[in-house]
Amino acid sequence: MCGIAGQLLRHSKAELAGIRAMCGQIRHRGPDDEGYHLDGGCGIGMRRLSIIDLNTGHQPISNEDGSVWVVFNGEIYNYRELRRDLIRAGHRFQTNSDTETLVHLYEEEGVEGIRKLRGMFAYAIWDVRARSVLLVRDRFGKKPLYYAALPQGLYFGSELKCLRAAGVPLDIDPDALRLYLQFCYIPDPWSPYRAIRKLPPGSWMIYHAGGQIERGRFWKLPVPPAEPPPDLSEAEACERLRSTFDEAVRLRMIADVPLGAFLSGGIDSSLIVASMALQSAAPVKTFSIGFEENEFNELPYAALVASQYKTEHHEIMVRPDSLDLVSRMIRHFDEPFGDAAVIPTFLVSEFAAERVKVCLSGDGGDELFGGYESFFQIERFRWMDRLPQFARTAISWTADRLPYSAYGKNYLRMMSRDSALARYFEANTTPYFLRRNLLQPDWMLPSDGAYFRQTFRDCLPPDEADILTQALYFETTAKLAGEMLVKVDRMSMANSLEVRCPLLDSELAELASRMPNSWKIRKRSGKRILLKALGDRLPLEIRNRKKMGFGFPLPLWFRGPLRGFLWDHLTGGLILSR
């Protein structure tokens, strides 16, 4: 795991001081090592967190004749198999690292070789002969990659602060902020700045020294079928799910440093710990976080799993004084981010980093197997599809005229929307009337389904797909990459901790995408097939408990011990002056 940065200038030479300054901004992502390579207008650099091949994995790494160079952030879990194939094809390796696989695979197959990678990655390849830089980002966007293509050249980095250090223009992008004000995160490919974009998940980009740009996708999440596939029974799917899940966990246990797991006491993290324990001779190190407020505290459930699998278990309790961390965390985001769970995520990462350098997490299970309440809500709202237009108009008229504090005002607004997709977004983003009260009209997004379909055209399936399929697909693509994985990446890397997500294994995800929604969600409960395949590994209390999510008692704290803290900030000079 590393942080990377670089540039390809069209009319001047890259300077070491400039590349070093960009990489210096992300030292937290890689405190163990640094490396740079300059060649005319190209300069690439990295900060390394050593996980595999501790002695010879220094970057940048080149091929045999120095015509291809790479800087890499992430892990390639199938690199040993790829390495064997490349050696048979005549390539010579200088290290035992997964990074070196990338340069030889590029030599052998070009961008087509990206499809063979199984892992999490963001990397840049400098092709000396073609005088071009290739940027690549993994299928789900687990690893970040920002870039700016300007008249003077290309700039890229693992975090926005790298590009700020290079002097990239920072004019605000109003469209990105409008999206943030509704979604509470800035979705890909936008960034807060007009000149900077995020490379979309599952895609690549080639920037040539003359300024020409090529773009492509190497992967797109398959759309789940409406009906069970004829060549896959539910029993066969359970059997394959069990074996593919264990393989995904096993691959992510490969490391030359201490490794552990986050254990929340929910289904996903508990299944991962169970699989780790069944495949490990030594006790698994597990890390859990809790709260004094019982309705948010999952420590008793985590303890059940830890006891069953005899893990080396560690717990930490979070209290209101943890908000002192906010000023530290802001630096690591570089852009607006509205999920309060960043605080416990930071704390559990900091806690785990005292003992391990790698942690496995349960991220992705809710998206792929239908675990969120928003999916069950869709089933409850299906009757609204039958409302005639005159009724929708009347409901909208009523919602607009109710007092702001009236109970059900936002619910009526949601009922009146013109499509199931528009209702889904209305119910799962910042409430319309809250935004209308706080914002000038220019900062409001359109609220019709057509706008969302156009804006998120790469993150929604075709129109004919069922609304549940559309919601699952959106959350697994746009929301996962823009919110959940951003939170986990920034807060873990702020503590120089690598987090791996077995449930986001590409082969596991493709298997899940072959299963119809009816195998995942039924009678307002989700993850049905995941539990059918693997639930025998869990304590009964875990299997039967209602989903809690990574909750955080911030509203209780703001009404109680942190009331003064909130008032002082909201009435402070900085906010009032704006």
**Sheet architecture: strand order including 358-360:** 312-318, 285-291, 259-262, 358-360, 498-500
Residues in the chain: 578
Bridge partner list, 204 = 136, 216
Q: Does residue 501 carry a catalytic annotation?
A: no
Phi, psi of 337 (to 5 degrees): -155, 125
Q: Is the peptide bond before 189 cis (omega within 30 degrees of 0)?
A: yes
What residues contact 351, with CB distance under 8 A and at least 6 apart? Answer: 287, 289, 314, 316
- Strand intervals (E) in 350-501: 358-360, 498-500
Contact 61, 43 (CB under 8 A): no
Cβ neighbours of 383 (radius 10 Å)? 9
β-pairing, 153-157 vs 146-150, is antiparallel
DSSP H or E run through 243: helix 234-251
Among 2, 42, 459, 501, the active-site one is 2
> How many angstroms separate the CA atoms of 182 and 435, rounded?
8
Whole-angstrom Cα Rg for the chain: 24
Q: Is the peptide bond before 60 cis (omega within 30 degrees of 0)?
A: yes
Residue type, 471: A
> How many angstroms separate the CA atoms of 100 and 121, rounded?
13
> How many angstroms separate the CA atoms of 163 and 158, rounded?
9
> How many angstroms separate the CA atoms of 343 and 508, rounded?
30
**CA dihedral of 297, 302, 303, 306, whole degrees rounded to 10:** -160
Strand, coil or helix: what is 154? strand
> How many angstroms separate the CA atoms of 481 and 5, rounded?
20
DSSP string, 476-526: IIIIIIIIIHHHHHHHHHTTT-EEE-GGG-HHHHHHHTTS-HHHH-BTTB-
Structure tokens at 536: 């025998």
β-pairing, 358-360 vs 498-500, is parallel
Query: What number of H helices and E strands is found in the chain?
Result: 26, 17
Phi, psi of 441 (to 5 degrees): -55, -35
Burial 224-234 (b: 16+ CB within 10 A, else e): beeeeeeebeb
Report CA-CA distances (Å) from 137 to 116, 143, 147, 515: 13, 7, 12, 26
The dihedral region occupied by 144, where left means phi > 0, alpha psi between -120 and 50, and beta the remainder, is beta
Active site residues: 2
